[in-house]
Amino acid sequence: MADSTQAKEITAKLEQGMQKLFNSEAYADYLRTMSRFHKYSTRNTLLIHMQKPDAFLVGGFNFWKTNFNRHVMKGEKAIKILAPIPLKITKELDKIDPVTQRPIIDENGKPLREEIEIKTARFKTVNVFDVSQTAGEPLPSLVQDLTGNVAQYEAFIEALRAVSPLPIVFEPLPEDTDGQCIFGEKIIIREGMNEVQTISTVIHEIVHAKIHVTAGGRVRHDASLAGISVQ
């Protein structure tokens, strides 16, 4: 247990760090970067999770090269997902009266026909890669400057509890989930992680909690697949 003076000092530094973070160009840069990642359907999110449970940010080979000057490392196994191929099909259907919503009949008592263009989609398999499978220029980080040395780990945890808008609890979680933020209730951190990983996860979840405090609502955020938005 850290003494109160030590905890207050670290708490003050963390509070200042959080305030600087939310008002910094680094935070704006982080949001801009996150907005450039594709939004995946529930099906593709599950496919990604099944193939690489620790995936964080994913994109195609050219996506990493063009947008972030990063390259897929040799020997990395691609994550396979489904991508839609838009198609237009022309069909001949009965012409419908816009008022009665019934087929329009000609002078011979037969329904009038018209050609209608229908938009549909087929799917093909495409390859994507997680950021951990790439190398190159670094992506912006929210927690790198706030973690630093965790030699005073216990005091750091106490300070994080003090600045967190939600209670922080340690519970068993799946290995692919470092933390969960249940807005309006609590922040859950996976038991058994090393100190640096624990500190990083706590700060990551506090950031999400602070973002949603003003927005309101009860949503659960998992610190796995964090860069994959589900439509």
Same domain, 154 and 99: no
Same domain, 143 and 32: yes
Domain coverage including residue 197: 4-36+139-230
**Domain edge (last residue) among 74, 92, 123:** 123
Q: Is residue 27 part of a domain?
A: yes
Give yes or no for residue 230 having a pLDDT over 80.
no
> DSSP assignment, residue 36?
T
Alpha-helix residue ranges (DSSP H) falling in 118-216: 144-147, 153-163, 195-215
Same domain, 180 and 225: yes
Q: What angle do CA 223, 229, 231 make, to 5 degrees?
A: 135
Same domain, 113 and 150: no
Distance CA 134, CA 156 (A): 32
The pLDDT of 128-156, averaged and rounded, is 72
Question: Per residue in 16-59, pLDDT tens?
Answer: 666 666 666 666 666 666 666 677 787 887 888 888 877 878 99
- Amino acid type, 133: Q
Distance CA 67, CA 60 (A): 11
The pLDDT of 9-15, averaged and rounded, is 65
- Structure tokens, 222: 């998992």
Q: Is residue 163 part of a domain?
A: yes
Q: Residue 224 is inside which H or E element, if any?
A: none
Q: Is residue 57 part of a domain?
A: no
